Structure 1
Amino acid sequence: MATLLFYNEPAFLNREVHKTLKFKASVDYSFTEDVNSVPLTGIEFFEASRDMPVLFSKDDQGNFFPLALLSLMDAGHKHLGEAGSWSDSYIPAFIRRYPFALTDEGTVCFDQNASQFEGEEGEALFSDDGENTETLNNIIQFLNNYDQQHKNTLDYCKELKELDLLSPFNLQILLEKDKPLRLEGLFVIDEKKLNSIPEDKVKGWFDSGWLAWTYAHLHSLGALNRLVKRQKETL
């Protein structure tokens, strides 16, 4: 399971303990206000690339994972509008799945402190006889789809690492006079190395969709200009 960023009090969803729990969908994404990037799955690269750079980071074990860079700020971003609404840009699934998530064992968990569970209004997650409601089944389907895409993305990243296709992406941007902003610890796919991978790999990547993901990632680097413009407007 991807890290439980945003979840302040995660708990397993239990049909006995939470049989009266009501869920009220919300478009308030203010819980993201302190982050400047979030994990991304490969299938999202296409839509995200129009609005934000798709880059790669590396965890403590040396494994790579993709992320959507929301801003060039040390913390926070400028995609939030009034009442925590999201501006006219792509909302990563990592954000949209909140306040629910799946454990590695496939158990549904949720953030008990989330505003979506406050009050008596909302949709029931369990029927009177303890069965899943349509609302909960739809949530579980979304979580399962996300989990499968997350695993597929990790396989993609493992192959990038095995083929040594990722190179450090260090960028210096001058937002204000004498105040350069440096991006460090990020990685991009090296196009020269990409052009030299074996032909059988290219076919496999085409069939799996990984080749399209790769070019969507490279296309997304142009969205850095959008982030620079957005940040300069707030200075």
Structure 2
Amino acid sequence: MAALLFYKDPAPLNRDLHKALRYQSSGDYSFTDSVNSVPLTGIEFFEASRDMPVLFSKDDEGRFFPLALLSLMDAGHKQLDGEGRWEDSYVPAFVRRYPFALTDEGTVCFDKESAQIGGEKGEALFNDEGENSETLNNIIQFLNNYDQQYKNTRAYCDECSELELFSPFNLQVMADKDNPLRLEGLYVIDEKKLAGLQEEKINDWFKAGWLAWSYAHLHSLGSLRRLLKKQQ
């Protein structure tokens, strides 16, 4: 499972301990305001590429994973308005799933510190019989879909790595004349190596959707200018 980036006090959801909990959806994404990127799944590359660069990084195990670059700052981003609402750009599923997540074992967990979870306002997570409410079932369906896409994206990145398609992406951007910004530790797919794949591999990737993901990623690099403009 991707790291619980925003979760202050994650806990497994238990129908006995948490039978009175309610969930209130919110458009306030201010919990993201300290990060400059978030993980992304491959199926999101298309929509995200219109608004933000899709790049790759390495986790602690040295495995590649994709991310949406939210800003060119060392920390924080400018995707939010004054009320914490996501402003005129794609909201990654990694952000939308908060305050819930799924463990590698399939257990639903939630952030006990989230303002969206409580005992008074919102939709019940369990009914009077202690069974999942429709709200909770919809949340679980979203989490399962996300988990499946996450695993598919992992397989895609592992094969890109095996085929040695990744190249370092180091870029220096002048936010202003006295403030150069450097992007380091990031990677892109080498378009020439991608085009040089064997025909059988290209056909497999086309059927899996991975070829389209790769070109959506390459297309997204054009949004670096848009990101810089938004930041300025």
TM-score (normalised: structure 2):
0.98
What is the DSSP-based 3-state SS (H/G/I as helix, E as strand, rest coil) of the residue aligned with 2:137? helix
Give the aligned residue type for 1:151: K
What is the DSSP-based 3-state SS (H/G/I as helix, E as strand, rest coil) of the residue aligned with 1:126? coil
What is the DSSP-based 3-state SS (H/G/I as helix, E as strand, rest coil) of the residue aligned with 1:144? helix
In structure 2, how many angstroms separate the alpha carbons of the residues matched to 1:9 and 1:154?
26
Give 1:60 deviation, angstroms. 2.5
The equivalent residue for 1:113 is 113
Q: Are positions 1:49 and 2:36 aligned together?
A: no
1:152-180 deviations in whole A, cap 9, x for unaligned?
00000000000000000011111211321
Aligned length: 232
Give 1:203 deviation, angstroms. 0.4
The equivalent residue for 1:231 is 231
Give the aligned residue type for 1:140: I
Give the aligned residue type for 2:19: K
In structure 1, how many angstroms separate the alpha carbons of the residues matched to 2:13 and 2:62?
33
Give the aligned residue type for 1:124: A
The equivalent residue for 2:17 is 17
Percent identity of the aligned residues?
72
Give the aligned residue type for 1:188: V
The equivalent residue for 2:63 is 63
The equivalent residue for 1:156 is 156
The equivalent residue for 1:30 is 30
Higher mean displacement: 111-120 or 14-23: 111-120
In structure 2, how many angstroms separate the alpha carbons of the residues matched to 1:117 and 1:63?
34
In structure 2, how many angstroms separate the alpha carbons of the residues matched to 1:26 and 1:178?
39
What is the DSSP-based 3-state SS (H/G/I as helix, E as strand, rest coil) of the residue aligned with 1:82? coil
The equivalent residue for 1:131 is 131
Q: Are positions 1:219 and 2:219 aligned together?
A: yes
Give the aligned residue type for 2:6: F
In structure 1, how many angstroms separate the alpha carbons of the residues matched to 2:178 and 2:116?
45
The equivalent residue for 2:207 is 207
What is the DSSP-based 3-state SS (H/G/I as helix, E as strand, rest coil) of the residue aligned with 2:127? coil
Give the aligned residue type for 1:29: Y
1:68-87 aligned at under 5 Å gives the runs 68-87=68-87
In structure 2, how many angstroms separate the alpha carbons of the residues matched to 1:74 and 1:17?
40
The equivalent residue for 2:93 is 93
Cα pair 2:53 2:220 within 8 Å, conserved: yes
In structure 2, how many angstroms separate the alpha carbons of the residues matched to 1:7 and 1:60?
19
Is there any run of 5+ residues in structure 2 with no aligned partner, and where? none
Higher mean displacement: 87-96 or 178-187: 178-187
How much is the aligned-residue C-alpha RMSD, in angstroms? 0.8
Give 1:223 deviation, angstroms. 0.4
Q: Are positions 1:176 and 2:176 aligned together?
A: yes
In structure 1, how many angstroms separate the alpha carbons of the residues matched to 2:212 and 2:12?
36
Q: Which runs of 4+ in 1 moved over 6 A?
A: none
What is the DSSP-based 3-state SS (H/G/I as helix, E as strand, rest coil) of the residue aligned with 2:109? strand
Is there any run of 5+ residues in structure 1 with no aligned partner, and where? none
In structure 2, how many angstroms separate the alpha carbons of the residues matched to 1:203 and 1:173?
37
In structure 2, how many angstroms separate the alpha carbons of the residues matched to 1:22 and 1:62?
39
Give 1:117 deviation, angstroms. 1.4
The equivalent residue for 2:198 is 198
In structure 1, how many angstroms separate the alpha carbons of the residues matched to 2:132 and 2:174?
53
What is the DSSP-based 3-state SS (H/G/I as helix, E as strand, rest coil) of the residue aligned with 2:188? strand
The equivalent residue for 1:146 is 146
What is the DSSP-based 3-state SS (H/G/I as helix, E as strand, rest coil) of the residue aligned with 1:110? strand
In structure 2, how many angstroms separate the alpha carbons of the residues matched to 1:144 and 1:59?
22
In structure 2, how many angstroms separate the alpha carbons of the residues matched to 1:231 and 1:88?
14
